[in-house]
């Protein structure tokens, strides 16, 4: 039975930080220079929201998957399942099997392999999403390298864009990057050791292992892609494998940065975007060993192409390194954070999970008016029918900005807090925060789409509250 | 139409100075307003049959129920209740007292509003969480992370108003500034006002943005204070004083939810104000408010609120309130002086007291006792007390007048 990729998409946060800004601010700490820019998650984003964003568009118009796998080394939850949050926010029902895959950088490719095995075993549709936002210490090399992104693949056995051909996986206990539960920043051992004993050899061993396993060679592949953890070693791997420069897929280091679990998935998406039918693609995930995955592109071209380019085009420069530090809470800034957050009400969040995480509202069966949050009595003044509501999903509805403000007295790490009333196409209005925009870009009437974001953090309960915000569409 | 026109009269009122009263407790303020009202009415505390307390932020050094009022004034076990309807709580207390008297349930009733919000120890209003801003328990989960929604929610009305009537943000802000300049001019004449400094349009326009496009001078003061009214059945009023002020109408309207959740709302007006106004005019037999009303105190929590209120009260035509502003219609020497006491803008805004403070000013004006800010021979005055925000509001309107008008 052929299994493979049915749909895919990527998510790259809108803000990009020019690496020269990092150099200007903290170059005195370390003499590191890397070209280009890195993608940085907004203050209200995390791997859950980035994976959700990629999954949301990946799943658009598709049948609900039976399983959802989420891979990240920076899962915001230590205990508690991010996959369940993402699933609820995708509008999936409780039958979906949700799994979090954590801790290893190869989690992205690992999730793909597990998902493919599940499809082979008869699971109808597995959604694999991965995202990471790893933190390097200010002034360190890792900070220069790391970028934030997410990617998602829907796996299945029909309507394949690319067929899974095989893989070769290695598992090693190799000490390169490590974090203990209380660590915010990634710790690395000596860089020379990582690249010469781990990164280089493992990627090569995985690829050569796959070649040997299936009796293929480098020339059989239209594209080969693997993350870049070191510029010189990245090139050395390609030379060692005898790859032509045209065969080597960009790791997007200069546009996004090294995005952990999401990196190989981003690279695979980029390869799929540009591939011709029949192309063989090889992608490698690195981390505690390495994994090489082989896909063959099918004749099906609908739904394939332009995904990464579109995500790369949606960008705005973050013009201040300090603002990035504030987003991450590294630099405390004098904003209105009262601290006395009311205690999270677990019974409420459970009862209203579809309203809050799913952005489900109601629609009056009598007059057809959509309304959010769901009402019992119709809000249409000419109707007011009692108890005649059906569920209605707002998350996928196009919307427009009815009015807005920028509040300097609100509680946010990114003042002023921009919010406005959002009119959904087909009816329904509510007030939402706007995000991924600056005040000078906002206009009444502009088109919006809804995006899952972090809303609050309740340290006393050890949880993150998520909700939807409106994101302006600029193109 | 049923109503209480001329069935109830005010025989005494008191109002403290409003402001950042660091050295005064809620108890101090309640007693001060009460004593002035008692002396004004010429009655004893024991003459009061029932009392209502209006207060919103009861958590801020007051406490739930009406017991804080009963205890502070040492009422001898009479009926005392607390009412709360956001910023309209003061008028709500007044309404309860008037209805009690009109119904014949008691002879003399008292309404007192108080707020002690400056004790929170920072600027602005207390945090809007699910406990104190009545957003329902979904509040923290789905509403924006505002500390208080008011500046933003009214700022969004300014954006819609400017958009709808073709005003640039610059022009719109200039009109709003003129509204604030007028209130500062009046407030400067009022010894009880919180803010007593005149300001220029340029100063207003230069002020820092609180919630775009509203700047600091578009926002009212946040104050401590208390105000108090004593009412009796109209036919008994002359037993207490020769110049009682008669209640011509009290109406409130609460939004049905359509202004928040339904796309039919234009966000350039406040529907509850209009609904309450239409009913109040009917109750008071007012057919042409632009001609018949002689002065008013409206709920200018923000300059834009005052602007749309001119229209919502059917004084200005829709979309033309700003033209009346430019023509000086609402100045102290204009056709309908608005905010003669400085309004929320300058008299200040101790939430639960504000509705009664407005009534206090109209009462004094009708009696001809408003000193340097006295309006010439007013016969009918209106107060407009708004709770909540444009899409989610409760409006309370009272119309007061002299005998026989």
Q: Mean pLDDT, chain B, as a whole number? A: 95
Q: Do A355 and A430 fall within a single domain?
A: yes
d(CA A115, CA A107): 12
pLDDT-derived band of residue A435, with 50, 70 and 90 as boundaries?
Answer: very high
Q: What pLDDT score does B133 carry?
A: 44
Which residues contact residue A405 at a Cβ distance below 8 angstroms, ignoring those fewer than 6 apart?
A: A418, A419, A420, B151, B152, B153, B155, B156, B159, B211, B212, B213, B214
Top pLDDT among B60 and A262 is at A262
Q: Hey, are the CB atoms on A467 and B212 less than 8 Å from each other?
A: no
Q: Where in the sequence numbering do the catalytic residues of B fall?
A: 87, 349
Q: Does position A88 have pLDDT exceeding 80, yes or no?
A: yes
Domain layout of chain B by residue ranges: 8-123+225-239, 148-218+245-401
A372 touches chain B (CB under 8 A): yes
Position B45 pLDDT exceeds 70: yes
Using 50, 70 and 90 to split pLDDT, how confident is the model at B129? Answer: low
Same-domain status, A176 and A237:
yes
Q: Does A251 touch chain B (CB under 8 A)?
A: no
Mutation test of the interface with chain A: which of B133, B263, B308, B392, choosing the one with the most A Cβ atoms within 10 A? B263
Task: Please report, for residues B128, B269, B276, B300, the alpha-carbon distance to residue B389 in angstroms, rounded to integers and kept in the order given.
Answer: 13, 11, 15, 12
Beta-strand ranges (E) seen in B47-189 are 50-54, 80-83, 108-116
Q: What per-residue confidence (pLDDT) applies to B145? A: 86
Q: Which residues of chain B make contact with A380, given a CB cutoff of 8 A? A: 258, 262, 264
Residue A337 placed within a domain = no
pLDDT digits (tens, 9 = 90+) for B200-233: 999 999 999 999 999 999 999 899 999 999 999 9
Q: How far is CA B339 from CA A63, B183, B294, in A?
A: 62, 6, 12
Q: Give the least confident one: A60-69, A305-314, A456-465, B218-227.
A: A456-465
Sheet order of strands, A360-364 included = A370-371, A360-364, A389-393
Q: Is A344 on the interface with B (CB under 8 A)?
A: yes
Provide the residue range defining the domain that includes A450: 346-359+394-472
Give the integer Cα–Cα distance in Å for B315 and B3. Answer: 22
Tokens representing residue B242 in the block:
């020769």
Given a cut of 50, whether residue B247 has pLDDT beyond it is: yes
pLDDT at B141: 85
Q: Where are the beta strands (DSSP E) in A76-133?
A: 97-102, 126-132
H/E/C letters for each residue in B44-71? CHHHCCEEEEECCCCCCCCCCCCHHHHH
Provide the pLDDT for residue B61: 87
pLDDT band at B135 (very low <50, low <70, confident <90, very high): low
A415: which DSSP letter? S
Return the DSSP state at B208: P
pLDDT in tens, A15-26: 999 999 999 999
pTM for the complete prediction? 0.95
pLDDT surpasses 90 at A197: yes
What average pLDDT does range A156-172 have in this prediction? 98
- pLDDT, one tens digit per residue, over A221-252 is 999 999 999 999 999 999 999 999 999 999 99
Q: Are residues A312 and A350 in the same domain?
A: no
Residues A128 and A269 in one domain: yes
Distance from CA of B207 to the nearest CA of A (A): 13
**B63 in contact with A, Cβ within 8 Å:** no
Q: Are residues A297 and A350 in the same domain?
A: no
Mean pLDDT of B285-302: 98
Q: Is residue A186 part of a domain?
A: yes
Measured between beta carbons, which residues in chain B are less than 8 angstroms from residue A467? 141-142
Q: Which residue has the tokens 């899974």?
A: A164
**Residue pLDDT, tens place only, B162-203:** 999 999 999 999 999 999 999 999 999 999 999 999 999 999
Among the CATH numbers 3.40.47.10, 3.20.20.140, 3.40.50.300, 3.30.300.180, which is that of B148-218+245-401?
A: 3.40.47.10
A241 domain-assigned: yes
**B134 touches A: beta carbon within 8 Å:** no
Within the 415-434 window of chain A, which residues sit less than 8 Å (CB to CB) from chain B?
Answer: 416-417, 419-421, 423, 427-433
Q: What are A254-308's pLDDT values in tens digits?
A: 999 999 999 999 999 999 999 999 999 999 999 999 999 999 999 999 999 999 9
Instruction: Identify whether the C-beta of residue A419 lies closer than 8 Å to the C-beta of residue B144.
Output: yes
Mean pLDDT, rounded, for A58-86: 97
Same domain, A352 and A299: no
B155 in contact with A, Cβ within 8 Å: yes
Domain count for chain A, please give it. Answer: 2
A48 Cα to chain B: minimum distance (Å): 17
The larger pLDDT score, comparing residue B124 to residue A214, is at A214
Are A377 and A386 spatial neighbours (Cβ–Cβ below 8 Å)? yes
Q: Cα angle vertex A316, ends A407, A147, to 5°? A: 110
Q: Which two tokens stand for residue B119?
A: 């004790």
By DSSP bridging, strand A126-132 and strand A149-156 are: antiparallel
**Average pLDDT score over residue span A455-464:** 86
Are A53 and A194 contained in the same domain?
yes
Q: Lowest mean pLDDT of A87-91, B58-62, B66-70, B113-117, name the range.
A: B58-62
Same domain, A286 and A218: yes
Q: Spell out where B98-223 has E strands.
A: 108-116, 209-212, 214-215
* CA A108 to the chain's CA centroid: 11
Cross-chain Cβ contact A431/B256 below 8 Å: no
Is B134 a residue whose pLDDT tops 60?
no
Report the 10 Å Cβ neighbour count for A270. 24
Is the pLDDT at B132 greater than 50? The verdict is no
Looking up tokens 């579109």 gives: A310
| A79, A171: one domain | yes
Q: What percent of chain A has pLDDT over 70?
A: 99
Residue B381: CB atoms within 10 A of its CB come to: 29
Provide the percentage of residues in chain B whose pLDDT is more than 90.
Answer: 90
Q: Is residue A386 part of a domain?
A: no
CATH 3.40.640.10 fits B8-123+225-239, yes or no: no
Instruction: Report the Cα B74 to chain-centroid distance in Å.
Output: 27
Per-residue pLDDT, B225? 98
Q: How confident is the model at residue A459 (pLDDT cuts 50, 70, 90)?
A: confident
What is the pLDDT, as a whole number, of residue A411? 85
Best of A403, A430, A432 to disrupt the B interface (most B CBs within 10 Å) is A403
Nearest CA in chain B to A399: B263
Residue A383 lies in a domain: no
Q: Does B212 touch chain A (CB under 8 A)?
A: yes
Position A456 scores a pLDDT of: 86
**Token couple for B340:** 């003669």
Distance from CA of A379 to the nearest CA of B (A): 5
Q: SS3 sequence, A189-242?
A: CCHHHHHHHHHHHHHHHHHHHHHHHHCCCHHHCCEEECCCCCHHHHHHHHHHHC
pLDDT of residue A81: 97
Cα–Cα nearest to B31, from B82, B61, B75: B75
Same domain, A312 and A417: no
What is the structure's pLDDT at B130? Answer: 44
Under 8 Å between Cβ of B53 and B82 = yes
Strands B50-54 and B108-116: parallel
Count of alpha carbons within 13 angstroms of residue A243, beta-carbon side? 24
SS3 of residue A46 by DSSP: coil
The reply to whether A352 and A293 lie within a common domain is: no
Q: Give the minimum alpha-carbon distance from B147 to chain A in angstroms, rounded to a whole number.
A: 5
Q: pLDDT value at position B342?
A: 97
Q: Do A380 and B131 touch (CB under 8 A)?
A: no
B329 is written with which tokens? 């219609």
pLDDT of residue A457: 86
Determine contact, residues B205/B215, Cβ cutoff 8 Å.
yes
**Band of the pLDDT at B146, cuts 50, 70, 90?**
confident
In which region does residue A185 sit, left (phi positive, over 0), alpha (psi from -120 to 50) or beta (all else)? Answer: beta
């Amino acid at each position: 039975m052929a299994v493979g990729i049915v749909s895919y998409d990527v998510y790259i946060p809108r803000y990009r930080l020019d690496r020269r800004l990092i150099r200007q601010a903290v170059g005195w700490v370390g003499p590191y220079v890397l070209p280009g820019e890195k993608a940085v998650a907004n203050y209200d984003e995390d791997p859950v929201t980035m994976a959700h964003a990629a999954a949301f568009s990946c799943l658009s118009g598709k049948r609900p998957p039976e399983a959802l796998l989420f891979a990240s080394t920076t899962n915001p939850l230590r205990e508690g399942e991010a996959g369940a949050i993402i699933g609820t926010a995708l509008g999936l029902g409780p039958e979906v099997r949700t799994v979090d895959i954590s801790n290893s950088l190869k989690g992205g490719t690992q999730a793909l392999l597990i998902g493919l095995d599940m499809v082979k075993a008869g699971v109808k549709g597995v959604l694999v999403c991965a995202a990471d936002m790893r933190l390097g210490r200010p002034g360190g090399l890792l900070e220069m390298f790391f970028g934030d992104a997410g990617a998602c693949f829907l796996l299945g056995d029909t309507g394949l864009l690319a067929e899974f051909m095989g893989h070769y996986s290695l598992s090693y206990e190799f000490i390169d990057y490590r974090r203990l539960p209380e660590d915010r920043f990634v710790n690395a051992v000596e860089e020379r050791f990582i690249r010469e004993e781990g990164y280089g050899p493992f990627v090569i061993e995985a690829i050569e292992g796959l070649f040997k396993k299936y009796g293929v060679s480098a020339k059989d592949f239209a594209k080969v892609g693997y993350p870049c953890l070191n510029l010189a070693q990245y090139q050395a791997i390609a030379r060692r494998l005898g790859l032509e420069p045209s065969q080597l897929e960009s790791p997007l280091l200069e546009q996004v940065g090294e995005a952990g679990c999401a990196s190989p998935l981003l690279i695979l998406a980029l390869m799929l975007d540009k591939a011709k039918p029949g192309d063989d693609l090889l992608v490698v995930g690195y981390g505690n060993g390495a994994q090489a995955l082989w896909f063959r592109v099918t004749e099906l071209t609908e739904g394939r192409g332009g995904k990464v380019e579109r995500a790369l085009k949606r960008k705005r420069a973050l013009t201040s390194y300090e603002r990035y530090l504030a987003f991450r809470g590294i630099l405390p800034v004098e904003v209105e954070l009262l601290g006395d957050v009311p205690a999270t009400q677990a019974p409420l969040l459970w009862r209203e999970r579809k309203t809050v995480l799913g952005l489900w509202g109601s629609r009056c069966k009598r007059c057809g008016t959509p309304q959010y949050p769901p009402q019992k009595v119709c809000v249409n003044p000419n109707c007011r029918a009692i108890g005649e509501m059906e569920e209605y999903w707002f998350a996928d509805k196009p919307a427009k900005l009815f009015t807005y403000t920028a509040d300097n007295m609100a509680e946010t790490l990114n003042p002023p807090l921009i919010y406005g009333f959002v009119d959904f196409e087909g009816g329904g209005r509510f007030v939402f925060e706007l995000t991924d925009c600056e005040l000078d870009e906002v206009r009444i009437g502009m088109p919006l789409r809804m995006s899952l974001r972090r809303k609050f953090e309740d340290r006393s309960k050890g949880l993150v509250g998520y909700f939807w915000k409106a994101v302006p569409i600029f193109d | 139409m049923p109503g209480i026109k001329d069935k109830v009269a005010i025989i005494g009122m008191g109002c403290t100075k409003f402001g950042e009263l660091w050295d005064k407790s809620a108890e101090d303020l309640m007693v001060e307003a009460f004593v002035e009202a008692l002396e004004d009415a010429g009655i004893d505390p024991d003459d009061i049959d029932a009392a209502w307390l209006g207060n919103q932020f009861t958590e801020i050094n007051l406490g739930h129920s009406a017991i804080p009022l009963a205890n502070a004034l040492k009422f001898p076990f009479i009926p005392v209740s607390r009412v709360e309807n956001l910023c309209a709580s003061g008028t709500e207390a007044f309404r309860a007292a008037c209805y009690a008297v009109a119904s014949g349930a008691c002879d003399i009733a008292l309404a007192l509003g108080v707020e002690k919000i400056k004790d929170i120890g920072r600027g602005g209003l207390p945090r809007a969480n699910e406990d104190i801003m009545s957003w329902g328990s979904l509040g923290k989960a789905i509403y924006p992370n505002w500390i208080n929604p008011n500046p933003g929610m009214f700022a969004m009305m300014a954006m819609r108003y400017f958009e709808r009537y073709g005003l640039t943000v610059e022009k719109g802000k200039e009109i709003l500034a003129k509204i604030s300049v007028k209130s500062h001019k009046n407030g400067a004449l009022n010894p009880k006002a919180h803010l007593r400094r005149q300001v220029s349009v340029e100063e207003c326009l230069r002020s820092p943005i609180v919630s775009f496009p509203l700047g600091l001078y578009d926002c009212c003061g946040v104050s401590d204070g208390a105000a108090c009214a004593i009412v009796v059945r109209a036919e008994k009023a002359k037993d207490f004083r020769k110049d009682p002020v008669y209640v011509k109408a009290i109406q409130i309207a609460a939004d049905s939810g359509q202004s928040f959740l339904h796309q039919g709302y234009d966000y350039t007006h406040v529907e509850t104000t209009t609904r309450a106004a239409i009913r109040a005019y009917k109750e008071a037999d007012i057919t042409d408010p632009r001609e018949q009303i002689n002065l008013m105190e409206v709920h200018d929590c923000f300059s834009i609120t005052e602007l749309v209120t001119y229209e919502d009260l059917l004084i200005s035509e829709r979309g033309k309130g700003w033209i009346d502003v430019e023509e000086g219609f609402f100045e102290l020497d204009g056709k309908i002086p608005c905010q003669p006491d400085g309004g929320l803008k300058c008299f200040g805004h101790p939430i639960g007291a504000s509705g009664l403070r407005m009534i206090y000013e109209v009462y004094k004006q009708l009696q001809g006792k408003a000193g340097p800010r006295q309006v010439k021979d007013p016969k009918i005055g209106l107060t407009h007390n708004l709770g909540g925000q444009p899409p989610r509001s409760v409006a309370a309107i009272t119309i007061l007048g002299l005998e026989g008008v």
